[in-house]
Amino acid sequence: MPSYIVRQNDNTWMPSTANLSPHLKNIVHEKVTSQIGVDPYNAEPLHYELEGLWSYNKLKSGYRIIYAICGDCRKKKAMTMNNCSNCKEVTDNSVVLWVFGSHDVYEDLKRARKKAWEKLVKQRRHDRRR
């Protein structure tokens, strides 16, 4: 039984898993429920542009599961970067699945976060002018 509540970031998780084979979907589901949901810290914390996210790369396929641990995200003050829509409603013992993919997923996430950060900065500047 998972000790963490596992949720999905539907904007990023669903598209990254939509075209997986049934076999790979089963492997991902098993790892999420038996490993990440039980001990999400048994993975690699990401740094720099990906601060606040974790990478579980113990899959024989070479793929990795990227996720946020809500309590850890709050401690690191990474909420702005992760920008989960329901952050205030989610408990610290929650894990939010972000994306599933090959090693290239890191670069994709960096680009997406940079774009989101630039949009946020632009919005804040606009709000200050009002």
- For the CA atoms of 100, 106, 109, 114, the dihedral, rounded to the nearest 10 degrees, stands at 170
pTM of the model: 0.82
Q: Which letter, b or e, does each residue of 88-105 get, where b requires 16 or more Cβ atoms within 10 Å of its Cβ?
A: eebeeebbbbbbbeeeeb
Condensed to tens digits (0 to 9), the pLDDT of residues 41-88 reads 999 999 888 888 999 988 777 889 999 998 888 888 777 667 777 778
What lies within 8 Å, CB to CB, of 40 at 6+ separation is 4, 54, 67, 69, 95
What's the CATH code, domain 5-129? Answer: 3.30.2310.20
User: What is the structure's pLDDT at 95?
Assistant: 92
> Where on the phi/psi map is residue 96: left (φ > 0), alpha (ψ -120 to 50), or beta?
beta
Domain regions of the chain by residue span: 5-129
- Where do we find the tokens 């997986």? 20
Distance CA 107, CA 71 (A): 25
